[in-house]
Amino acid sequence: MTDPELEVDVLTSQPRVELVPRSHLSLELGHLYMEDLLDGPETLRRHFARIRPLADFVRARYPAPLRISTCFLVDDYFSQLTSPKKLVPELLDAVRDAGLGIDYLVRESACASAGEVSPAELVLGRIVSDPPRGSNGLRPPVHVTGWVSNSRDRLSPDGLDEALATRPWHPPEQNGARSHSICMEVQLWDERDGQRQWSCALLSAVWQLLRLGLLRHQGKPVISPTRWTAEYPDRWEDLPPLVQLADGAQPFAAFQTMSLLETRFADVEAAVRTILDQVSVDPAVTEQTAAQAAAQKIDLPGDVVGRISHVFSDGF
């Protein structure tokens, strides 16, 4: 009998897209940089004490039997100042003290590399730059520059840099602006010691797509939950990319996401929306997700950005 996960479409010779179970909502219980954790468990307790009222508000908006899964992203990509053996038990104690629960723990480094797959590279390969009105085509493609923009080139019509030209200054203009423009330039990576380091904005865009269940590699999800019952390791790379912490948790992927964040993350999340506006999701995944939502009578926004939301707060 053929394994359905290994079936190939006879017309396209492409692997069939694996269906992932979905919750109604993926709720992110905040985010902390690794250096935030140097203050110890009290930092975590204060964090989840602030998050609790927001989480209660969300649950009131999504009452049972709607399915909610909770998640927490650990920043182990830009620094590793503490170990999973120390941090994870402290994290679980702090969230329990606040009357909350984390279903899934994800390593941010998994957004860059998960086994033999780079989710960041997958997303980069699916970015289709938004051609600005009046563009002269001189801006190199995003895969060369490492930058995405939501506005037209800051170049004079003849292609000369305005700083060198005698023409009047031309302000940037947002694509599809409503009355007035809000222009953004978002860096996706830089080079450090000959290695590409992905930006926080791109990794956060990957994080949203993983939570929405929209990334595939050869038809399969790029990360899948692993239930962890042993002692936590000393090194983050020895922990699976996606750890299921709770038995009986609702599915990790969801039709929509909500992130409860401090306002210091607002700029990054605005950049995430700019990136996702230009990501072309695999049409097979798009169709499958739409059919899945329709079968469950879920009103699913057609665009990816319409499926993500944020609640920003600096405390109460």
Total count of domains within the chain: 1
DSSP-derived 3-state class of residue 160: coil
Range of the domain at 58: 18-116+198-266+289-312
Is 46 contained in some domain? yes
Instruction: Evaluate whether residue 144 is within a structural domain.
Output: no
pLDDT, position 4 = 39
Q: What's the DSSP call for residue 133?
A: T
The C-alpha atoms of residue 73 and residue 86 are separated, in whole angstroms, by 16
Q: What is the pLDDT of residue 155?
A: 52
Strand duo 68-74 + 23-32: pairing:
parallel
151 lies in a domain?
A: no
In the block, tokens 């998994």 appear at 110
Q: How far is CA 58 from CA 21, 47, 73, 315, in A?
A: 21, 17, 19, 16
Which pLDDT score, from 0 to 100, does residue 165 have? 52
State residue 33's pLDDT score.
Answer: 86
Pairing of strands 104-107, 147-149: unpaired
Instruction: State which amino acid sits at residue 288.
Output: Q
Identify the pLDDT of residue 156.
47
Determine, yes or no, domain membership for 22: yes
Whether residue 259 lies inside any domain: the answer is yes
Segments of the chain with pLDDT less than 70: 1-15, 129-139, 153-167, 315-316
Query: Does residue 169 sit within a domain?
Result: no
pTM for the structure as a whole: 0.88
In a domain, 179, yes or no: no
Q: Please identify which residue in the block is written with the tokens 């999973």.
A: 84
